[in-house]
């Protein structure tokens, strides 16, 4: 049972326009949500996160919105740049005991920004 879902495997956006990547989750015990960006042949790098008690977090061109009632979050990139082309993973953390948190990932969305 997939607890974090990214239903769009790919997205193409024109340079300068907005990219919106979506993510749905089923586990109401998740307390933090994160977005990771991954280039081919590299490990994922942290992009932005949001606490479950907030509904918006902004960092430069990146904004994450959380709708807890709908169990939905989205990442907005404005304006999109060719260097943003990568696979974006939505992830959520839950407490797994012994002082540790576990990350659950979605399957990823490949973003292509067209110059």
Among 28, 42, 53, 60, binds another protein (CB under 8 A): 42
The reply on whether position 11 binds another protein by CB under 8 A is no
User: How far, in Å, CA of 22 to CA of 75, rounded?
Assistant: 7
Shorter beta-carbon distance to another protein: residue 65 or 105: 105
Question: What is the x/- site pattern for another protein, positions 62-101, by CB under 8 A?
Answer: ---------------------------x---x----xxxx
User: Which lies closer to another protein via its Cβ, residue 14 or residue 102?
Assistant: 102
Instruction: Determine if 25 is a binding residue for another protein (CB under 8 A).
Output: no
Kindly report the CA angle at 49 between 95 and 1, in degrees rounded to 5? 50
Question: Which lies closer to another protein via its Cβ, residue 48 or residue 79?
Answer: 48
* E strand spans, the chain: 4-5, 10-14, 19-25, 32-38, 45-51, 56-59, 62-67, 72-77, 86-95, 101-105, 109-114
At residue 109, the 3 state secondary structure works out as strand
- Min dist. Cβ of residue 42 to another protein (A): 6
């Amino acid at each position: 049972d997939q607890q974090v879902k990214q239903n769009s495997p790919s997205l193409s956006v024109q340079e300068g326009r907005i990219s919106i990547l979506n993510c749905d989750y089923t586990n109401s015990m998740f307390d933090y949500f994160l977005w990771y960006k991954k280039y081919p042949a590299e490990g994922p790098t942290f992009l932005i996160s949001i606490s479950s008690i907030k509904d918006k977090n902004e960092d430069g061109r990146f904004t994450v919105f959380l709708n807890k009632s709908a169990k939905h979050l989205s990442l907005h990139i404005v304006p999109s740049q060719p260097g943003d082309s990568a696979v974006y993973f939505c992830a959520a953390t839950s407490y797994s005991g012994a002082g540790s948190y576990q990350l659950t990932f979605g399957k990823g969305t490949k973003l292509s920004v067209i110059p």
